[in-house]
């Protein structure tokens, strides 16, 4: 540093910081030899905190406001410095400005597929991605545990570590939730909130607050997507014999020729349709069954399931489920009491009343 830089540095008595980068979490205020004049004006803006570090030890943390750096405003730093001369000479200390605003739209995603066991499809691989938000909750702890002596610490310096925490917990939660793959899309919000709760303590150890986790997409391999598309098509067709009959009739109406020829062709067509229908009826194992609606119920805030409607009926008979039990089924947006589900309520109506 040149002579004039040193001179002007000693006369400047305003300490503040304006963030123009939009990604800086911590910035160390630069002064020649870290000398700060006694009585200097410190400006701490909204969503900022100023942390004083003396000889490697955090002395004071100041919130938003304008401060004159004097004895009464820095009691801890005063006791550490043991200043003489009534504090008329410059003192040495490092000032770190912490950005307390939320850092949003941070990306996370699985680098490799998650392998888990699904009740319907067996072993399957999933990929997922989304966003999360974070902010500094404890400036002193964050500097002590993460920043150290880094004079310019940005969100990119820690985002990889935070992303790894989220992916690790997401893998554990999805693998242990027992939610069918086909129902994961309707549980994005619940999964995001649950992950946030599970990771909150780990982030707080760094002096950070996890403000939220959003799941944008959970996908399966292309081969599984193709199988799901075929299954959906079969669900639309439903009865194959009716479909064959309809297709044959359609082809007959589009054909041309004599009346006798049309009648003969129609007879052959219906015979073929009947033959094919009988063949498939005799081999029903080859026809994919429509997707069966599955149910979950809450037991001490712990989801149990999935269960078929027959299994749910048995639980009702065993008094494991009553009309107030919270339940969720495929296609529902939220959990509701058993009496709100029409097909479940009907099961209560058929139960015989207890003996007097």
212-233: per-residue pLDDT in tens? 999 998 888 777 777 666 666 6
Q: Is the pLDDT of residue 324 over 70?
A: yes
pLDDT at residue 235, as a whole number: 58
Task: Assign 80 a pLDDT band (cuts: 50, 70, 90).
Answer: very low
* Beta carbons within 8 Å of 93's beta carbon, 6+ residues apart: 34, 36, 52, 53, 54, 59, 77, 81
Q: How many CB atoms lie within 10 A of CB 253?
A: 8
Q: Is the pLDDT of residue 11 over 70?
A: no
Euclidean distance between the first and final Cα of the chain, in Å? 96
Task: Assign 248 a pLDDT band (cuts: 50, 70, 90).
Answer: low
pLDDT at residue 226, as a whole number: 74
Closest CA to 63 of 78, 77, 54, 50: 50
pLDDT at residue 7, as a whole number: 42
Closest CA to 294 of 347, 343, 250, 232: 343
Mean pLDDT of 80-97: 60
Q: Is the pLDDT of residue 99 over 50?
A: yes
Query: What is the phi/psi pair of residue 305, to 5°?
Result: 150, -175
Instruction: Please check whether the domain covering 295-349 is classified as CATH 3.30.1490.
Output: yes
Task: Assign 179 a pLDDT band (cuts: 50, 70, 90).
Answer: confident
According to DSSP, the residues that pair with 111 across neighbouring strands are none
Task: Assign 286 a pLDDT band (cuts: 50, 70, 90).
Answer: very low
Domain borders along the chain are: 3-99, 103-223, 239-285, 295-349
Q: Is the pLDDT of residue 57 over 50?
A: yes
For 75, left (φ over 0), alpha (ψ -120 to 50), or beta? alpha
Q: Is the pLDDT of residue 277 over 60?
A: no
Of 7 and 226, the structure prediction assigns the larger pLDDT to: 226
pLDDT at residue 281, as a whole number: 53
Most confident of 130-144, 207-221, 311-325: 130-144
pLDDT at residue 101, as a whole number: 94
Of 224 and 147, the structure prediction assigns the larger pLDDT to: 147
Closest CA to 341 of 290, 292, 296: 296
Task: Assign 6 a pLDDT band (cuts: 50, 70, 90).
Answer: very low
pLDDT at residue 270, as a whole number: 53
pLDDT at residue 2, as a whole number: 52
Q: Nearest 5 degrees, angle CA 82-CA 84-CA 87?
A: 100
For 300, left (φ over 0), alpha (ψ -120 to 50), or beta? left
Of 161 and 242, the structure prediction assigns the larger pLDDT to: 161
Radius of gyration, alpha carbons of the chain: 34
Q: Is the pLDDT of residue 45 over 90?
A: yes
Q: Is the pLDDT of residue 257 over 70?
A: no
Handedness of CA 283, 288, 293, 298 (dihedral sign): positive
For 150, which DSSP code? -
Of 118 and 265, the structure prediction assigns the larger pLDDT to: 118
Closest CA to 208 of 44, 98, 65, 51: 98
The first and second tokens of residue 31, run together, are 């002064």
Of 34 and 102, the structure prediction assigns the larger pLDDT to: 102
The overall average pLDDT reported for the chain is: 76
pLDDT digits 0-9 by tens, 109-130: 988 888 888 777 778 888 899 9
Q: Which alpha helices (H) appear in 122-254, and where do they start and end?
A: 139-142, 156-177, 188-204, 222-237, 240-254
Of 183 and 87, the structure prediction assigns the larger pLDDT to: 183
Task: Assign 77 a pLDDT band (cuts: 50, 70, 90).
Answer: very low
Could you give the CA distance from residue 304 to residue 28 in angstroms, rounded to a whole number? 52
According to DSSP, the residues that pair with 296 across neighbouring strands are 328
pLDDT at residue 69, as a whole number: 72
pLDDT at residue 246, as a whole number: 58
State the pTM of this model: 0.57
Q: Is the pLDDT of residue 25 over 70?
A: yes
The counts of H helices and E strands in the chain are 10, 18
CATH architecture of 103-223: 2-Layer Sandwich (3.30)
Among 27-41, 227-241, 251-265, 331-345, the minimum mean pLDDT is found in: 251-265
Helices 259-282 and 240-254: crossing angle, nearest 10°? 170
């Amino acid at each position: 540093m040149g002579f004039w830089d040193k001179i002007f540095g000693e006369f400047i008595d305003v300490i503040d910081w304006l963030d123009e980068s939009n990604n800086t979490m911590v910035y160390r205020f630069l002064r020649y030899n870290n000398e700060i004049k006694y009585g200097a004006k410190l400006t701490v803006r909204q969503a900022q905190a100023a942390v004083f570090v003396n000889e490697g030890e955090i002395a004071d943390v100041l919130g938003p406001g304008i401060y004159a750096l004097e004895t009464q405003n820095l009691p801890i730093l005063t006791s550490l410095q043991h200043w003489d001369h009534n504090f008329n000479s410059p003192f040495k200390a490092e000032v770190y400005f912490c950005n307390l605003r939320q850092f949003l739209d941070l990306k996370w995603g699985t680098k490799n597929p998650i392998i888990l066991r699904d009740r319907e499809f067996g072993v399957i691989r999933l990929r997922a991605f989304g966003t999360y938000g974070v902010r500094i909750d404890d400036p002193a702890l964050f500097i002590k545990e993460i920043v150290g002596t880094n004079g310019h610490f940005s969100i990119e310096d820690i985002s990889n570590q935070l992303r790894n925490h989220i992916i690790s917990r997401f893998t554990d939660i999805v693998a242990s939730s027992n939610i069918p793959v086909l129902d994961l899309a309707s549980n994005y919000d619940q999964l995001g909130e649950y992950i946030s709760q599970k990771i909150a303590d780990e982030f707080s150890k760094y002096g950070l607050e996890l403000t939220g986790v959003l799941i944008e997409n959970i996908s399966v391999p292309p081969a599984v997507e193709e199988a799901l598309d075929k299954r959906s098509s079969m669900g639309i067709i439903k009865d194959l014999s009716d479909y064959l009959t309809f297709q044959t009739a359609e082809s007959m109406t589009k054909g041309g020729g004599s009346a006798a020829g049309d009648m003969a062709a129609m007879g052959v067509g219906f015979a073929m349709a009947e033959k094919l229908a009988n063949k498939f009826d005799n081999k029903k194992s080859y026809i994919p069954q429509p997707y069966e609606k599955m149910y979950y119920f809450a037991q001490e805030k712990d989801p149990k399931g999935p269960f078929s409607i027959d299994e749910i009926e048995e639980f009702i008979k065993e008094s494991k489920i009553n009309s107030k039990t919270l339940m969720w089924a495929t296609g529902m947006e939220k959990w509701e009491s058993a009496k709100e589900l029409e097909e479940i309520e009907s099961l209560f109506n058929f139960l015989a009343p207890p003996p007097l």
